[in-house]
Amino acid sequence: MRLLFFFLFLPSLLPADNPIKPIPKTIAYNQKKAELGKLLFMDPQLSSDKSVACVSCHSFDHGGADPRPVSIGAYGKTGNVNAPTVYNSYFNFRQFWNGRAKDLKEQARGPLHNPVEMDMVTEEIERYLRSNDYYNEAFREIYHRAPTHDDALDAIAEFEKALITPNCKFDRFLRNETTLTELEQRGYRLFKTLGCATCHNGINVGSNSFQKMGLIFPYPWKKTFPDRYNLTHTPTDKNVYKVPSLRNITLTAPYFHDGSVPTLELALQRMAYHNLGFDLSSDEIEALIAFLSTLTGESPPILRESR
Ligand code: HEC
Ligand code: HEC
């Protein structure tokens, strides 16, 4: 089985010996918009019960993801899916597990209105922003008009653009600035030869294609999950998701769309079994985890700067 995969996927590994690309050390963004977006991202007044902000489910202390298996929104309503990280999300080819938003601005519309998340309507958002002196002034300065819902989405997206985690050990290795330990190198080789890199590759080590969870051995499916089927209603799209990014993966437990897996070790076992059709040895897991740990970058500069 392993050999079959190796040959099956070999062609896709050949053109680029390094299937992973480093993220840029810095990214150009509009500072004023991003700072405004940062405030909005952290403002619970933007939810119907004034208790939930974007940051409630995308915690800066947990790699931009939610440490709870499923998120809890306004009035304590629970969702049915694990919140992915917002870090490096600018590089995702689409947003959401099933890719239903084309970019960050379109994405941000979702949680603000979702009844199990922030549960707001456009008018309420604009009424609140216009009633606040700080926002009024900031929006007028940047957008030359009173606060609008659309401009708020624009500012939030600009803040998220700044949420990159540069200079992880692996990126520095790709830029020839450092070397990997033997164990890390072994993990990287396994990542390529076992077939992980066929789905997890590119600048975000994922987040650039839709793939089936349970390609070889089926994974439990529920109608309520936001998979591709939920969008297309094509039976073969059941359990098909945007491949998650593996950047900062040591920080973003629990894992998988259903948040069912508490440890990275178990996630790798499940992944190999369901999508590659074999079990990993404990040595292989150790090496893979050593490699994956090199994908943890610096926290985003915009979170370190004070306003
Ligand atoms: C109640 C919890 C909750 C709140 C509040 C919340 N999110 Fe999310 N976020 C989620 C969940 C859950 C998903 C995955 C939903 C899906 O894919 O169907 C998600 C997905 C995302 C994604 C897509 C990431 C990816 O890899 O596809 C981005 C970006 C994001 N949220 C940004 C925001 C912003 C901006 C806000 C505030 C306007 C926000 N979130 C508020 C829970 C939350
Ligand atoms: C056929 C494509 C495919 C292959 C091969 C594959 N993965 Fe995945 N991987 C996915 C998809 C799709 C998900 C999302 C699954 C879900 O949430 O249900 C995922 C999720 C993960 C996660 C959890 C990420 C998170 O944030 O929840 C980890 C860790 C992971 N993969 C590592 C690996 C490793 C290591 C290998 C090789 C042993 C591998 N994957 C092979 C497609 C693949």
Model confidence pLDDT, tens digit, residues 250-293: 999 999 999 999 999 999 999 999 999 999 999 999 999 999 99
C-beta contacts of 189-192 below 8 A and 24+ residues apart: 190/284, 190/287, 190/288, 190/291, 191/288, 191/291, 192/13, 192/19
**Between 116 and 14, residue with greater pLDDT:** 116
Looking up tokens 């002196």, which residue turns up?
133
Quick: pLDDT tens for 126-150: 999 999 999 999 999 999 999 999 9
Q: Give the Å distance between the CA of 116 and the centre of ligand 1.
A: 11
Quote the pLDDT of residue 97: 97
Q: Which atom of ligand 2 is nearest to the CA of 215?
A: 1
Chain centre to alpha carbon of residue 50: 25
Q: For residues 22-46, b (16+ Cβ closer than 10 Å) or e, as one string?
A: bbeeebebbeebbbbbbbbbebeeb
Torsion on CA atoms 107, 210, 66, 28, rounded to nearest 10: -50
Quote the pLDDT of residue 6: 54
Angle at 284 between CA 279 and CA 285, to 5 degrees: 80
Distance CA 210, CA 100 (A): 12
- Measured from the CB, is residue 65 less than 6 Å from ligand 1? no
Q: Give the Å distance between the CA of 83 and the centre of ligand 1.
A: 6
Q: For residues 114-144, b (16+ Cβ closer than 10 Å) or e, as one string?
A: bebbbbbeeeebbebbeeeeebeebbeebbe
Pocket of ligand 2 (CB under 6 A): 194-196, 198-200, 211, 213, 215, 241, 243-244, 246, 249, 252, 255-257, 267-268, 271-272, 275-276, 288
Q: Give the Å distance between the CA of 243 and the centre of ligand 1.
A: 16
Pocket perturbation via mutation, ligand 1, pick of 39, 71, 119, 156 by most ligand atoms within 8 A of CB: 71
Distance CA 86, CA 66 (A): 10
Distance CA 175, CA 168 (A): 11
Pocket perturbation via mutation, ligand 1, pick of 62, 81, 107 by most ligand atoms within 8 A of CB: 107
Amino acid at 182: E
Angle at 293 between CA 193 and CA 188, to 5 degrees: 15
Q: Give the Å distance between the CA of 244 and the centre of ligand 2.
A: 7
The answer to whether the CB of 179 falls within 8 A of the CB of 283 is no
pLDDT classification of 14: cutoffs 50, 70, 90:
very low
- Closest Cα to atom 10 of ligand 2: 243
- Closest Cα to atom 13 of ligand 2: 243
What ligand has the least distance to the C-alpha of 109? Answer: 1
Quote the pLDDT of residue 11: 46
What ligand has the least distance to the C-alpha of 207? Answer: 1
Q: Give the Å distance between the CA of 25 and the centre of ligand 2.
A: 26
pLDDT classification of 17: cutoffs 50, 70, 90:
confident
- Closest Cα to atom 3 of ligand 2: 199
Residue 104 clears pLDDT 90, i.e. is over it: yes
For residue 66, the tally of other CB atoms under 10 A from its CB is 23
- Measured from the CB, is residue 163 less than 6 Å from ligand 1? no
Q: Which atom of ligand 1 is nearest to the CA of 66?
A: 42
Quote the pLDDT of residue 7: 54
User: Mean pLDDT for the chain?
Assistant: 94
Distance CA 183, CA 170 (A): 13
What ligand has the least distance to the C-alpha of 259? Answer: 2
